[in-house]
Structure 1
Amino acid sequence: MPHTTQLYQHVPETRWPIVYSPRYNITFMGLEKLHPFDAGKWGKVISFLKEEKLLTDSMLVEAREASDEDLLVVHTRRYLNELKFLFERVEGISRATIIDLDAHQGNGHERDFMGDKRVYIMDVYNRHIYPGDRFAKQAIRRKVELEWATEDDEYLTKVERNLEKALQEHRPDVVVYNAGTDVLEGDRLGGLSISPQGIVKRDELVFRMVRSLQVPILMVTSGGYQKRTARIIADSILNLYGLGLIGPESASVSAQNSDSPLLPPEVP
């Protein structure tokens, strides 16, 4: 008997391709403030975008929670994985690329898709920090290891050059983009030195190259252990919108570099 699910819903064209729920913001009697990760980051991003008059609550997409029965379509009870769900349930998805630009090696999805030819992984990370998973590195198809305190010019050049080659080597049906902000200068856990403007430019670069191929892209915001990352994520979304790379009816955009200003000279 076919599996019945309530996960899928009609999304009106007037809504933005931004998935958010207040439940993303984790609180526990104030103890979350003791953790280096800003557990309320996503709510702050949405607040910034509302202040800029970019969107309202009615324009957001709130995802429905998957039931155990939904997840067990593609997993055992011991293990679950979202991208595998796409392969099994979404028509037309048979090849995927993961672009992991978080400061840490993405050993989780690397172990998940070890030996799976459908998934191409490009990982750009600080080679000196956690997790240093040598076994998982075998799953990386395009590996870019960075040194301590890598700055904008070197970082953006390596991201652009390697992403271009990655998209040539494996033409995906969907791209999952891990847009970690722990690459930001001053992040003690990331150990890199990318400016706020550099992060905004990085996201623009990825979206331009992927959208030029008419490939859908899913961006997740991932790591970032400073309070100011929420503002930077919001600024990046505003920049992508201003360039026509995201929005209810975002058009195809050339992969060439833009001369449009990304941000004011100073970012709070």
Structure 2
Amino acid sequence: MATSSSPESLRRTRILSSKLYFDVPLSKVPVIYSSAYNIAFFGIEKLHPFDSSKWGRICQFLASEGVLDKKCIIEPEEASKEDLLVVHPEKYLDSLQNSLTVAKIMEVPPVAMLPNCIVQRKALYPFRKQVGGSVLAAKLAKERGWAINVGGGFHHCSADKGGGFCAYADISICIHFAFVQLKVSRVMIIDVDAHQGNGHEIDFAKDKRVYILNVYNSEIYPGDYNARRFNDQKVEVASGTTTDVYLKKVDDALEVARRSFDPELVVYNAGTDILDGDPLGCLRFLALVPKIGWLEISPDGVIKRDEKVFAFAREKGISILMLTSGGYMKSSARVIADSIINLSRKQLIDMSGTQGTAGTGGQI
């Protein structure tokens, strides 16, 4: 049994005293977003191919299509230091007080020259808000059957190390919150981002409560061969894989998962960097060479992939939360919005609040 001073007891205390879980009225749709998600500081963010305003553009598309009223969106709290300590050791969080460390994680070298107070406000604060969104998404998924954090999915960050534009391990944090607050004992991570989810692989390497299904391009970043050993189901797809082949692999993987594990919660890391032409869904030194080094998945293929995963959860009666993760083209926001619209049309999610219908919304 854990003593009052044991690491597990301290983790539990932090989770139970957190403000990241809060009651949400039924008039709100379980779509979580804050304008604070978007990263902008002096144009430096444009030196990384990631569309750092992607999250807001997704909501703008949903609002303009009349699918989501901005008044129905849920704003999360920022993850505090105590929340982050649920997974991250203090030494790692202290390292983020060094702008050079953050620059390496974000892969934007000029960030190293900025005062850390600016880096905290303009880069790490948006990430901490997204962590809060991922944590809250688990609670809402258990209450409503599904939830979407229009952000999050920082799957390259483990407890001790960030990388690949991922400074905080939101997937690991939200799962530990679910263990304690939601009394969940079995979680399945379905990670279909183009890149290997080495962060959560490391964090749950010896935790039998978590089943990891990881579908990724084995030829690209991060190439973490040690972490790959900790997947329960590893589906490696090669560069040049086409939509039909990819969707067949997803179908087969979900069938194996259906027979292998009975989760109470699915954490779905739905990266769109599998799209044909994504500048980081490929071998980096071949990023400017058309049709070499990346997957060749169409926008419709992404939409069908998401539908398959949500249908999997619906058929098994499992709560599911979706994180948007990677996706580095300007077109990714439109594809994600179209996928959410498709999930609504297929009645896999309900985008209407209990008070009124979704309108055109407004400025997000």
TM-score normalised by length of structure 2: 0.65
Aligned in 2, Cα 1:108/1:118: closer, same or farther, shift over 3 Å?
A: same
CA separation of 1:147 and 1:72: change in aligned 2, threshold 3 A: closer
**Shift of the alpha carbon at 1:72?**
3.4
- Alignment CA distance shift 1:225-1:74 (3 Å): closer
1:11 Cα offset (Å) = 1.1
The letter of the residue matching 2:308 is L
Of stretches 95-104 and 158-167 in structure 1, the one that deviates more from structure 2 is 158-167
Alpha-carbon distance in structure 2 between the residues aligned to 1:231 and 1:71: 31
CA contact (8 A) 1:182 1:223 kept: yes
| Equivalent-residue separation in structure 2 for 1:231 and 1:75 (angstroms) | 33
2:275 aligned to 180, 184, 209, which one? 184
Q: Which runs of 5+ in 1 are unaligned?
A: 251-268
What letter is aligned with 2:223?
A: G
Matched residue, 2:255? 164
Kindly indicate whether residue 231 of structure 2 is the aligned counterpart of residue 144 of structure 1: no
Higher RCO (C-alpha under 8 Å, 6+ residues apart): 2
How many angstroms apart in 2 are the aligned matches of 1:51 and 1:186?
A: 26
CA contact (8 A) 1:101 1:125 kept: yes
Partner Cα separation in structure 1 for residue 83 and residue 218 of structure 2? 37
Secondary structure, counterpart of 2:300 in structure 1: helix
Deviating above 4 A after TM superposition, structure 1's stretches of 4 or more consecutive aligned residues are none
Superposed displacement of residue 8, structure 1: 2.1
Tell me what 1:44 maps to.
57
Contact 1:102 1:125 in 2 (8 A): yes
2:183 corresponding residue in structure 1: 92
Give 3-state SS (helix, strand or coil) of 2:31's partner.
coil
Matched, 1:135 2:238: no
**AA in 1 matched with 2:21:** Y
Structure 1 residues 107 and 74: CA distance shift in structure 2, 3 A: closer
Alpha-carbon distance change, 57 to 140 in structure 1, aligned in 2, over 3 angstroms: same
Distance 1:196 1:74, change over 3 A: closer
Please identify, of 118-127 and 8-17, the stretch whose mean Cα deviation from structure 2 is larger.
8-17
1:33 pairs with 2:46: yes
Question: 1:196 is aligned with what amino acid?
Answer: P
Contact preservation (8 Å) 1:13, 1:248: no
- Contact 1:211 / 1:245 at 8 angstroms: preserved in 2? yes
Q: Is the 8 A contact 1:14 1:248 kept in 2?
A: no
1:75 Cα deviation from its structure 2 partner: 5.2
- Secondary structure class of the residue paired with 1:233: helix
Which residue identity does 1:177 align to in structure 2? Answer: Y
The alpha carbon displacement at 1:143 in A equals 0.7
Q: Which amino acid aligns with 2:264?
A: D
Q: How many residues align?
A: 250
Shift of 1:88: 4.1
Change beyond 3 A, Cα 1:186–1:71: closer
Q: Secondary structure at the match of 1:139?
A: coil
SS at match of 1:145: strand
The unaligned stretches of length 5 or more in structure 2 are 5-12, 93-158, 160-168, 282-293, 354-364
Does residue 115 (structure 1) correspond to residue 187 (structure 2)? The answer is: no
- Tell me how far apart the structure 1 counterparts of residues 326 and 87 of structure 2 sit (CA, whole Å): 27
**Aligned partners of 2:246, 2:175: CA distance in 1, in Å?**
30
- The counterpart of 1:67, out of the listed 73, 80, 100, is 80
Of 29-38 and 77-86, the range deviating more from structure 2: 77-86
**Among 24, 31, 37, the residue aligned to 1:11:** 24
SS at match of 2:32: coil
Give 3-state SS (helix, strand or coil) of 2:188's partner.
Answer: strand
- One-letter amino acid of the structure 1 residue matched with residue 20 of structure 2: L
Can you list the C-alpha shifts for 1:56-109, whole angstroms capped at 9, x where unaligned? 221011111222233435654244641343244323311111101001111111
1:221 aligns with 2:234: no
Which SS does the other structure have where 1:193 is aligned?
A: coil
Given that residues 188 and 263 in structure 2 are in contact (C-alpha distance below 8 angstroms), is that contact kept between their aligned partners in structure 1?
Answer: yes
Corresponding residue of 1:241: 344
Give the conservation status (yes or no) of the 8 Å contact 1:5–1:70. Answer: yes
Q: Are the counterparts in 2 of residues 17 and 247 from structure 1 also a CA contact under 8 Å?
A: no
SS of the equivalent of 1:212 reads helix
Q: How much does 1:5 deviate?
A: 3.0
**CA root-mean-square deviation:** 1.9
| Alpha carbons 2:86, 2:173 under 8 Å: kept | no
Instruction: Find the residue that maps to 1:181 and give its secondary structure.
Output: coil
- TM, length-normalised to structure 1: 0.88
User: Could you tell me whether the CA contact under 8 Å between 2:189 and 2:266 is conserved in 1?
Assistant: yes
State the SS of the aligned residue for 2:316. coil
Distance 1:126 1:73, change over 3 A: closer
Larger helix proportion of the pair:
2
